[in-house]
């Protein structure tokens, strides 16, 4: 592609104007942007709830909000963040935009289904939002029975239905990606020439397709029990509340891999581009993605170590939980090894990638603590576990998401953002994040339970540190909103390959044309096939 043409005259953003051209689009790139609006919206709602939570927890007494309100806040924080941000964000925004381009296709296999997925996502989200506005949900995002089926007086049914509906968006997007990757690769694009982002997306899609139906039926059972008093989970009629937990976690554990695998895929891309060399151990990283997807389905019982599971089941789940850690470790080592003798860039996307590797490592290592049953008995249901999963989901997934957003922003928008501001924001995010969540490991070990509105005064200092960190983190998240939006109008034009990276997406214009490529590419090279030196005129 000629690098002297900075912005092509025709591209997907100016291919039709007006609300209808967006709301009825079949272009995967526009649909990705529709999702971007949706996930950002729900992220800030979840974030607002987190803000109030941390404000409340700065003092030991429950003095900011009532306990009922607090219970609704942490519930909706979890629901919004898990189901409406973390699960869709990278696949539906970056995946939708990039999958066809990275494999050299014109669009996904089922473009109309893709648009339908977005509508389903938004309808589900608005349903759940209605549940909040109409008074809230107070069961925790985990909906444990019999509290959710018998005892709670909050809007369980609309919230459960909202999540149920949105689940179909995940299923259909996953289905779309699987078929696209199988059937629509450009000539010469063999499986092992695909960028690692596609391997991760494929593994994620497998989980989406196999796991999400189970949470769908589980939530349906909860709603049915509430309406008809069926009794599946009610011991007064012979039902078993722990059965709910098995059904719930059978999906919700693989769900955490839906949340982290795409971020790992992004990191593979960022590390390759940031070091201008192939990812070390490409096939090991690719197979690790699949291994994580498969093993991830076998470990759900580690959420039930103290819940009433038998000793022997617990031990089986424990050993499997250790096994699932291994492929993640393999990826971390391979990414680190990629940096050896790389040409290492310090640009913002790469900073997010390096941050991911460090923070995900800490999150993963603390996973070993909770996989060891003897330790889990002490730290489960405390702030230790909260810190563990936030390290992975925020220190991991969100850093991966932000890194990817920054990396592909020039491709998506045709503009460059302000690199200086972006670096500062990345630093603020990193510092704010660690200050927020590291003290929580200690709090958990000391015994502070989770979902507590008020706590014994000896826990206050650590809580104040955490709340201070949260306020810094909030600034770190608001900054990109500001400068990315600003760049849409005032940013420098990017050109097709501002990073000097290798990949099919960098061979087409920024922004790309609606059909992605002027001519269908024919692929004869491996992924990340960097030359001895890049062409001149590359940033």
Partner 1 sequence: MAGRVDALYFFLVGLAVFFALLIAGLIVFFAVRYHRQDSNATGTKVHGLIALEVAWTVIPFLITMVIFVWGSSVYFAMAHPPDETLNIYVVGKQWMWKFQHLDGQREINELHVPVGRPVKIIATSEDVIHDFFVPAFRVKADVLPGRYVSVWFQPTKPGRYHLFCAEYCGTRHSGMIGEIVVMDPNEYEAWLTGGAAEGSLASAGGKLFADLACNTCHRADAQGRGPVLDGLFGRQVALQGGGTVTADEAYIRESILTPSAKIVDGFQPIMPTFQGLVSEEQLLQLIEYVKSLKSQTEQPTARPNPPNGPAQNETTPVKK
Partner 2 sequence: MLPEAVHQHHPPALAHHFDDLEQQREAATLGMWTFLVTEMLFFGGLFTVYMVYRSWYPDAFAAASHELIIWAGTTNTAVLITSSLTMAMAVYAAQTGNRRLLITLLIVTISLGCVFLGIKAFEYYSEWVEHHVPGLNYDFEPAYFRNAQIFFSLYFLMTGLHALHMIIGIGIMLFMLWWAVRGIITPEYHNPIEIAGLYWHFVDIVWIFLFPLLYLIGRHTHV
Residues within window 432-451 making contact with partner 1, judged by CB under 8 A: 445-447, 449-451
Q: Nearest-CA neighbor of 111 among 532, 533, 514, 521?
A: 514
| Closer residue to partner 1, CB minimum distance, 127 or 249 | 249
Among 67, 227, 229, 524, the residue binding partner 1 under the rule CB under 8 A is 67
Residues within window 273-312 making contact with partner 1, judged by CB under 8 A: 275-278, 280-282, 284, 306-311
Phi, psi of 346 (to 5 degrees): -110, 20
Candidates 180-188, 207-215, 260-268, 374-382 — which segment interacts with partner 1 by CB under 8 A?
374-382
Q: Nearest-CA neighbor of 391 among 336, 447, 438, 445?
A: 438
With CB cut-offs between 5 and 8 Å by kind, which of partner 2, partner 1, none does residue 227 bind?
partner 2
Among 16, 136, 358, 513, the residue binding partner 1 under the rule CB under 8 A is 358
Residues within window 200-259 making contact with partner 2, judged by CB under 8 A: 209-214, 216-218, 220-221, 224, 227-232, 237-240, 243, 247
22 binds partner 2 (CB under 8 A): no
Q: Are 33 and 11 in contact (CB under 8 A)?
A: no
Residues within window 149-178 making contact with partner 1, judged by CB under 8 A: 150-152
Among 52, 64, 372, 431, the residue binding partner 1 under the rule CB under 8 A is 372
Candidates 9-17, 159-167, 232-240, 505-513 — which segment interacts with partner 1 by CB under 8 A?
232-240
Q: What angle do CA 137, 138, 142 make, to 5 degrees?
A: 95
Residues within window 130-189 making contact with partner 2, judged by CB under 8 A: 171, 175-176, 178-180, 182-184, 186-187
365 binds partner 1 (CB under 8 A): yes
Q: Nearest-CA neighbor of 407 among 424, 422, 394, 388?
A: 422
Q: What is the DSSP string of 80-143?
A: IIIIIIITTIIIIIIIHHHHHHHHT-SS-S-HHHHHHHHHHHHHHHHHHHHHHHTT---STTTT
User: Two tokens at 370?
Assistant: 């909770």
Cβ at position 101, least distance to partner 2 in Å: 12
| Closer residue to partner 2, CB minimum distance, 182 or 533 | 182
With CB cut-offs between 5 and 8 Å by kind, which of partner 1, partner 2, none does residue 69 bind?
none
333 binds partner 1 (CB under 8 A): yes
- List of residues 6+ apart from 207 with CB closer than 8 A: 174, 254, 255, 257, 258, 261, 293, 296, 297
Number of Cβ atoms within 10 Å of the Cβ of 532: 4
Sign of CA dihedral 88, 90, 93, 95: negative
| Closer residue to partner 2, CB minimum distance, 104 or 410 | 104
Residues within window 468-507 making contact with partner 1, judged by CB under 8 A: 500
Whole-angstrom distance, CA of residue 533 vs CA of residue 140: 54
Candidates 120-128, 221-229, 256-264, 373-381 — which segment interacts with partner 1 by CB under 8 A?
373-381
Task: Name the DSSP class of 492.
Answer: P
- Kindly list the residues in this chain that would bind partner 2 in the complex (CB under 8 A): 105-111, 171, 175-176, 178-180, 182-184, 186-187, 209-214, 216-218, 220-221, 224, 227-232, 237-240, 243, 247, 519-520, 522
């Amino acid at each position: 592609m000629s690098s002297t043409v900075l912005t092509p005259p025709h591209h997907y953003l100016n291919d039709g104007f007006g609300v209808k051209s967006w709301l009825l689009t079949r272009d995967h790139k526009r649909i990705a942007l529709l999702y971007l609006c949706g996930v950002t919206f729900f992220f800030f709602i979840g974030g607002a709830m987190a803000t109030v939570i941390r404000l409340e927890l700065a003092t030991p007494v429950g003095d900011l909000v009532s306990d009922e309100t607090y219970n609704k806040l942490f519930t909706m924080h979890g629901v919004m963040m898990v189901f409406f941000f973390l699960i869709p964000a990278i696949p539906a925004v970056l995946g939708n935009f990039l999958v066809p381009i990275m494999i050299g296709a014109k669009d996904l296999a089922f473009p109309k289904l893709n648009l339908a997925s977005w509508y389903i996502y938004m309808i589900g989200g608005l349903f759940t939002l209605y549940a909040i506005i109409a008074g809230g949900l107070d069961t925790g995002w985990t909906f444990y029975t019999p509290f959710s089926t018998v005892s709670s007086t909050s809007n369980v049914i609309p919230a459960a239905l909202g999540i149920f509906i949105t689940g179909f968006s995940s299923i259909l997007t996953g289905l779309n990606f699987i078929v696209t990757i199988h059937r629509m690769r450009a000539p010469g694009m063999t499986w092992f020439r695909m960028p690692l982002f596609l391997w991760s997306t494929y593994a994620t899609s497998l989980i989406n397709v196999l796991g999400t139906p189970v949470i769908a039926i589980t939530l349906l059972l909860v709603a049915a029990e509430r309406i008809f008093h069926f009794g599946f989970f009610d011991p007064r009629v012979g039902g078993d509340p722990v059965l709910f937990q098995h059904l719930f976690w059978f999906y919700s554990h693989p769900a955490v891999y839906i949340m982290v695998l795409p971020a790992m895929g992004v990191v593979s891309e960022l590390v390759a581009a940031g070091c201008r060399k192939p990812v070390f151990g490409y096939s090991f990283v690719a197979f690790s993605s699949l291994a994580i997807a498969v093993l991830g389905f076998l470990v759900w019982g580690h959420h039930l170590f103290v819940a009433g599971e038998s000793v022997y089941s617990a031990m089986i789940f424990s050993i499997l939980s250790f096994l699932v850690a291994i492929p993640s470790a393999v990826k971390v080592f391979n990414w680190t090894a990629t940096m050896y003798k790389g040409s290492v860039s310090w640009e913002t996307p790469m900073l997010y990638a390096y941050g991911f590797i460090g923070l995900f490592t800490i999150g993963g290592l603390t996973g070993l603590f909770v996989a060891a049953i003897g330790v889990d008995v002490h730290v489960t249901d405390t702030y230790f576990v909260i810190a563990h999963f936030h390290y992975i989901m925020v220190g991991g997934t969100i850093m991966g998401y932000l890194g990817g957003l920054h990396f592909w922003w020039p491709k998506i928008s045709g503009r460059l953002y302000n690199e200086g501001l972006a670096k500062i924001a990345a630093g603020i995010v990193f510092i704010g994040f660690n200050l927020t969540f590291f003290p929580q490991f200690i709090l958990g070990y000391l015994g502070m339970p989770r979902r507590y509105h008020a706590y014994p005064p000896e826990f206050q200092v650590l809580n104040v540190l955490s709340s201070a960190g949260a306020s810094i983190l909030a600034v770190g998240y608001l900054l990109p909103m500001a400068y990315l939006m600003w760049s849409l109008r005032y940013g420098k034009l990017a050109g097709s390959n501002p990073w000097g990276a290798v990949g099919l997406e960098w061979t087409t214009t920024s922004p790309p044309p609606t059909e992605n490529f002027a001519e269908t590419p024919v692929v004869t090279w491996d992924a990340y096939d960097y030359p001895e030196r890049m062409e001149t005129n590359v940033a």
